[in-house]
Amino acid sequence: MISSRYPLLLACFVTLSAAAQDARERSDLGLMQRQITVIEQLADRARSSQVDVETSRYHFDYPRFVADLEHMRRGISKYLSPSRAQPTDLAELTSDYRAEAPHPSSHDEHD
């Protein structure tokens, strides 16, 4: 009897470990989203202090950079809260189940 309890105990430990890892991952991904927000703020500040964009040969592409940050944020958000499949509209039911019996045709009648 004692040996039959060990697989159940092992399954409980594995489940608890997976739940702890999931909570840790969610926490870390939430932190990453907040850090992306801070990076966007820093990019906005750097863009506003940028000088002579027109005259320099190269410049940092802030709009593309911010778009990439937003893309990362959306990817993390979709992972953290995936959309559930929405029910589709099914065909409308007729709700009229009375059918007329077929009319006997003249060639089906017997004398």
pTM of the model: 0.56
Q: pLDDT tens digits for 70-111? A: 989 988 998 888 777 666 666 565 555 565 666 666 665 555
User: 94 vs 18, 89, 91, 98, 102, CA distance in Å?
Assistant: 49, 15, 9, 11, 20
Length of the chain: 111
Contact 67, 43 (CB under 8 A): no
